[in-house]
Amino acid sequence: MTAPARPQGRLEGKIGPRHRDRLAAVYVRQSTAQQVHDHTESTRLQYGLAERAAALGWAASRVLVIDDDLGHSASGADARPGFQRLVSEVGLDHVGIVLGIEMSRLARSGREWHQLLELCALSGTLLGDPDGIYDPADHNDRLLLGLKGTISEALCRRRHKASYADIAVMPTTRCESAADLAGSDSRSA
């Protein structure tokens, strides 16, 4: 009996020469200076994505780290010059892959997230996070990215637009665990 065949291009095959000919963009963000100070591990992990780009085949000189929004809270793209720069670089076809710790947290709203997905799909730009590499032009990847974005936005709204949807990374005073979050939803229903 043979192992089931892996779907074409699921991981390694997604990244091709056309992607590596362009930049790998690493978007680094924390909402406040206090978060940058208190959550140094998150910041370190985000900057560490430059090493992941190298492991994926990008030369160090082809890795663009965008950290203009580090320590700046903003509710929309217009108040985040780093995000604007990322979108511009993708739109100008300069970027082959965008790397982030949690891809769905790149944008601050569902509208921004889906616009970024569309722009990446049109320009052939991949998205990558610790869970995998995604091609927004692939319908299965697009569905997964859309779901991640929707869940992230719902958690973020529930938690008053905190920087990360991961409660373990950034606990709040109102709810300290995913179970507390789920429990508070059932009580309010």
Active site residues: 31
Q: Where does residue 17 fall: left (phi above 0), alpha (psi -120 to 50 degrees), or beta otherwise?
A: alpha
> Distance between CA 117 and CA 111 in Å, rounded?
10
Burial of 74 (0-12, 13-18, 19+ CB in 10 A): middle
Distance from C-alpha of 123 to C-alpha of 137, rounded to nearest angstrom: 9
- Calculated CA dihedral for residues 54, 60, 62, 63, nearest 10 degrees: 70
Return phi, psi of residue 99, to 5°.
Answer: -110, 135
